[in-house]
Amino acid sequence: MNDEQQTTNFAISLEVIFMKRKEVLGFILAALLSLPPLAGASVREETSSAINYKMRYPVVTVEKNAAAQAAINEDIQKYVDSFLNQYKAGKFYRGNFSYKVQYEDDQVISLTVADFRYNQGAAHGYTNTYGLNYSKDTGERLPLSYFVKLRPEDKMTILRQPIIDSRGERVPLEKTFATGRYISTIKISSNYYMLGDGALALIYPPYILACYAMGTLHIDLSPQIIDYFNRKNQ
């Protein structure tokens, strides 16, 4: 084979490789275009205040899904209205309402709202934290059982998972009610939020899992322990 034939064959080989790459890229692009649009979301902050309260609350926008967006915001509004209506009725002296976006991906959004209220003459106020977890597809609130199947007898296994305080520090089990005479009063919380990467956090308000000074506590459930519960309790 002379040099001219080798050059010609090489050029043909390059053209074939280039054509095949174009075909593969075209197939990938067609596959991506055939996928349903992702439901992106954004959270806008609204505020409200009066002489004895401050409020920050979320308004969620779900792209290309007005029905899901309406359902999510209608549910959030129930917590906002409860706080405002009870403030106006004099049910508490002063308060604060705030929120945090805990996790979001293409299918779900997870928020927490913290409702703090103080009654005149009380030793201290009290905060209730609520986990609000929604499907971006339907706007439905997702219960804990959507992600993990639990039974009452799983309580001690759950209590042995990391217990985290509001500063993000781990709380030793012996500093909670889980080792004392109040152990029978502790229940598995159904109040939760998402941590991402398949992990969840169960929410325990003050006095439920530990003394008031410990604040709101969270028990982290890893993907591994969630997988174990789901296999065991199927």
Residues 76 and 23 in one domain: no
Which residues, in sequence order, are CB contacts of 109 under 8 Å at separation 6+?
Answer: 41, 43, 60, 72, 101, 103, 133, 134, 136
CATH of residue 108: 3.30.565.40
If one counts the domains in the chain, the total is 3
Residues 5 and 56 in one domain: no
Establish how many alpha carbons lie within 13 A of residue 227's alpha carbon, considering only the half-sphere containing its beta carbon. 5
* Structure confidence by residue, pLDDT tens digits, 68-109: 999 999 999 999 999 999 999 999 999 999 999 999 999 999
- Which domain does 46 fall in, by range? 41-142
Residues 227 and 201 in one domain: yes
Residues 22 and 91 in one domain: no
CA distance 195 to 188: 18
Q: Specify the amino acid at residue 171.
A: V
CA dihedral 180, 183, 186, 187 (to 10 degrees): 150
Q: Using the 3D structure, point to which of 119, 142, 165 is the last residue of a domain.
A: 142
Q: Is the pTM of this model over 0.95?
A: no
Residues 80 and 158 in one domain: no
Is residue 181 very low, low, confident or very high in pLDDT (cuts 50, 70, 90)?
A: confident
CA distance 140 to 113: 17
